[in-house]
Structure 1
Amino acid sequence: MSWDDLSKDELLSRFLQMEERIDELEETIAQKDERIEEQNELIEEQQERIEELETRLRKYENPHTPPSKRRSGTDGSPTSQDDEDDDVRTDGGTPGRKDGHDPEWRSPPDPDEEVDVTCDCCPECGDHFDESVGVSPRLVEEIPDPQTPEITRYNRHYYQCDSCGTETVAA
């Protein structure tokens, strides 16, 4: 059927349908434009966040950062074979203790204070301990500036639960 075969009312009806469809499509386009604008704003915010994080990350990826502050992972590993700062030693030596050299250990200092740390019951089942089955000493050296260190020895008793067999060290 061609446009010539349609009556005036049919043509008017089709024209109105087309106008409605055009209005619907224009509304859809406006909604999509609004969504695109929101997404562009989000992308811009994310880009700023990425730049901020990369700046913070660079702070931890320089050769002077101690290993405890470096991020984990194989690409940033301090022992990686691809490290650019692995310079060959010019004095002919190798770092570290030589083979056959006995280790040197610092003798433990005498404590200024001794504290017994005990535990009354099993943390697993709640059963009460009868007595300690041993002591696990731990020396803590607190060094306030500029005084001499204050050394405390905590005798942390450890227990074995008669009910469930759990071994517990008092905290």
Structure 2
Amino acid sequence: MSLGIGGSPESTDSAIRAEDSTHLRQQLVVKEFENRLLRRQLTAQQQQIENLQARLKWYENPNTPPSKQGGAAGSPGNDDSDEEENEDQGDDAGGDADAASDSSPGRDEGHEGTTRPPPEPEETIRVDQGYCPDCEQTLSNPDSYVSRTIIDIPLPIPTTVTEYELGKHHCSCGNEVVAEHPDCPETGRFGPNIMAQTALGRFHQRLPNRKQAELFEWELDLPISHRTIYNLTKRVADRLRPAYEDVKARIRESDVVYCDETGFPVDGEQHWAWTFVTDEEVLFWVDESRGSQVLEDVLGEEFAEDSTLSCDGWSAYPSYHTKLQRCWAHLLREAEYVAERYEEAERLSEELHALHDDLTAFDEE
């Protein structure tokens, strides 16, 4: 009896099983490919999460000031942009009108106003002729006068040129001595007022050297190159170096020194601006390092053991000195940070805040 075309049932089953096996292997290859793809995506996502968590630490950690927490500042070092924008908009910025009025210019509500008294005029100019815009007549005999006192400066601002004849002496010891005058610099031809104005323009007004050169020509009718502006600034720094060293010496002898440091770009490179403060002195120090070596350079290798450093939690401070007074702002933020996460730390946070309030009230009284 014939079974028909296609062979025996056994061969047909074998062909079906082979086809199913091939199909399963194909599915397995596809699943393995999908698995590898998903693992790659998971690895990339985990890396992205780690990067975001690292960025989040800029804003959500006990050492971050409130102005930067939660990313409100946009980026580190830019925590005043929103505040400045709201101040410029005034009452139209929205929100509480009272809050807007607090930052507006002018005297506070209820504060008695004052008016600048007019200075005594050095010259009186009488103006008789007037012009009527309706009749187009020129009037020359006024019935009375209206007095207005105007304060102004002449342009260009007057400059003085002084020649100093400095006596030259030959001492009996063999030295040659030249007389000195406080208004006659040892180097260059520009006096102390111009040098001081140059330093103020560079560091207080933040004017580039070329802008200062333009300003000197406009205001003083005194052409000065931007290179000369740089040299004048350096001469001021050289003249002030002894006073700077005196401040540093007094800080080294102080019983309590407050220290802090913040990022400071110099020619696009990361530097650090250090601040050392006592009751009577303030010293700024710009350095490439944020380490304890800076503390040794400023305060000396052997800072007095009984002196106290008031500082935040940066590791450079305990590496340099053992007697530390933690900054209250950082300490309270750290206590709050821990208390929000651990119930047993709540009492510590409350006690520290109460102690701070008591000390503040005592200090105010």
TM interval, shorter chain, is 0.3 to 0.5
Please give the TM-score of this superposition, normalised by the length of structure 1. Answer: 0.43
Q: Which has the higher strand share?
A: 1
TM-score, normalization by structure 2: 0.23
Q: Which has the higher helix share?
A: 2
